[in-house]
A = this chain, B = another copy of it.
Amino acid sequence: MRQSKLFTRARREAPADEQAKNAQLLIRAGYVHKEMAGVYDYLPLGLRVVEKIKAIVREEMNAIGGQEIIMSSLQRKEVWERTDRWNDEKVDVWFKSKLVAGGEVGFGWSHEEPITDMMQQFISSYRDLPAYVYQFQTKLRNELRAKSGIMRGREFVMKDMYSYTLDETTHKSFYDSAIAAYMRVFERTGVGDRTFLTFASGGAFTEFSHEFQTLSSAGEDTVYVHRGKKLAINDEVLRDDVLAKLGIRRDELEKVTAVEVGNIFDFGGTKSRQLGLMYKDSTGGEVPVHLGSYGIGITRLMGVIVETMSDDKGLVWPEAVAPFAVHLISLGSSRSRSDEAGKGGEEITKTADALYEELSRAGVEVLYDDRDMSAGAKFAESDLLGIPGRIVVGKEAATTGLFEVVARATGVVEKVPHEELRERYA
């Protein structure tokens, strides 16, 4: 895309009312716009990142048998009353409203209840199991505070998956495959090294649930990491019996600040029984379906990537989630300008235009800075936007066919001949 057409632009100053580093950078770079505290609009560059993350998560969920759906945001009071979670004293993040037609509705802060209620349509026999269902949903939560930018909002995108299985054994097997799929998601999105499978309380249902915690100074959680075993323990379950069970000594643990980017949970048969999701086993007996739930905060993960990878010049995107693969910067000018003006400037523009067309045709995602601005301003904005590869087209490229290529993450500069550019990015 030509940057002269992009309606967003970078800002020098962070907005005064924004405390979180992730939102400050994303707003300055024109990726998001703040609607109110904890509520952000995603602009063209930001939406591209969200969609890249979703595509990776979708691939991994499909690979373990997940089927994608989309539930409604409007929810029925009656379903949530069955599990005693409609009450504002039990769940303190509800948004609710009155229907003009009479009655109350809730706005989806979670979807376990409605999905499980719906599955009654499709599950009645052991032959209907297992079923793995997921969605990318905009969740609405009436949070008292929202100071963490896109990492904890009143409105955010979450991937939530639900597993419906016969029993503990089949549940456990899927649960393990979900853990592996989650680790692949975090690796592919660039935070694998700093993300730890974390033991947490299983509540009333099981001994443990599991969180995926990414080390970040911007986190709100404290966890205890065992780097050797690549796992962590949260403070709910930091007890001697748990340490013994995991074969870990207390002095091997490192206390760190982290962000929960995912969590997985085993409900056993409890919620299914409350909601009436029962199946007939092979002897005709009525058994509650075994339920697991599996969440990844999509926009939170985007925030964590920003928090952990950006530097003092701006955003730094891993290739897999970057809005564009290449930031092509022309130092030519459409109008006359001091240094690159006249014939030299025209040649540069022609060379850059041709390279933009060539790479685009080859399927490379290119943001092409074709604007009439100083080289310094373009480079500073390019650093802020954080696109992984920068190709600079100046006098040298136009005359010798040798292009300056800069890696955003490392700052490494190379001179690359024209014919190698396409194969490098295509």
Instruction: Name the B residues within 8 Å of A146 (CB-CB).
Output: 101
Chain B residues within an 8 Å CB radius of A74: 35-36, 39, 140, 154-155
Residues of B within 8 A of A6 (CB): 67
**Contact assessment for A72 and B39 in the assembled complex, using a CB-CB cutoff below 8 Å:** yes
Whole-angstrom CA separation of A355 from B141 in the bound complex:
48
Q: For residue A145, which residues in chain B have a CB less than 8 angstroms away from its CB? A: 101
Binds B, one of A114-122, A261-269, A302-310, A346-354: A114-122
Which of chain B's residues have a CB closer than 8 A to the CB of A69? 41-44, 47
Are A73 and B76 within 8 A (Cβ)?
Answer: no
| In the complex, chain A residues 233-273 whose Cβ is within 8 Å of any chain B Cβ | none
Q: Which residues of B contact A138 (CB under 8 A)?
A: 73, 138
Whether A44 pairs with B68 at a CB distance below 8 angstroms is: yes
- A72's contact among B9, B40, B100, by CB below 8 Å, is which? B40
- Which residues of chain B have C-beta atoms less than 8 A from A30's C-beta? 122
* CB-based contact A5/B65 at 8 Å: yes
Kindly state the separation between the CA atoms of A128 and B371 in the bound complex, as whole angstroms.
Answer: 12
Q: Which of A70, A93, A133 has the most CB of B within 10 A?
A: A70
Complex CA distance for A101 and B93, rounded to whole angstroms: 11
Q: Does B72 lie within 8 Å of A41, measured CB to CB?
A: yes
- Report A79-97 CB contacts with B as 1/0, cut-off 8 Å: 0000000000000110111
Find chain B residues with CB under 8 A from A50 CB: 70
- The contact of A35 among B67, B76, B95, B140, by CB within 8 Å, is B76
In the complex, what's the smallest C-beta–C-beta distance from A333 to chain B, in angstroms? 15
A359 on interface, CB distance cutoff 8 Å: no
Nearest B residue to A33, CB-CB: B118
Most buried by B among A30, A50, A73, A128: A73
The yes or no answer to A75 lying at the interface (CB within 8 A) is yes
A121-167: which residues lie under 8 A (CB-CB) from chain B? 121-123, 128, 131, 133, 138, 140, 142-146, 154-155
A336 at interface by CB-CB < 8 Å:
no
A97 touches B142 (CB 8 A): yes
A76, A121, A138, A155 interface centre (most CB from chain B within 10 Å)? A121
> In the complex, A202→B235 CA distance in Å?
62
Who on chain B is nearest to A99 by CB? B142
CB-CB under 8 A from A14, the residues of chain B are none
A35 and B155 in contact, given A95-B97, A122-B7 (Cβ under 8 angstroms): no
Q: State A84–B92 Cα separation when bound (angstroms).
A: 32
Complex contact B8–A122 (CB within 8 A): yes
Let me know if A107 is at the binding interface, CB within 8 A.
yes
Indicate if A71 sits at the interface (CB-CB under 8 A): yes
Known contacts A7-B123, A35-B71, A42-B69, then 18 further A-B pairs from the complex at CB < 8 Å, ordered by chain A residue: A35-B72, A35-B74, A35-B76, A35-B114, A41-B69, A41-B71, A41-B72, A41-B118, A44-B68, A47-B70, A73-B73, A74-B140, A92-B100, A93-B100, A100-B142, A101-B143, A101-B144, A107-B107
4 residue pairs, one from A and one from B, having the closest CB atoms: A7-B131, A95-B97, A35-B72, A39-B72
Interface residues of A (CB under 8 A from B): 5-9, 30, 33, 35-37, 39-44, 47, 50, 65, 67-76, 92-93, 95-97, 99-101, 105, 107, 114, 118-119, 121-123, 128, 131, 133, 138, 140, 142-146, 154-155
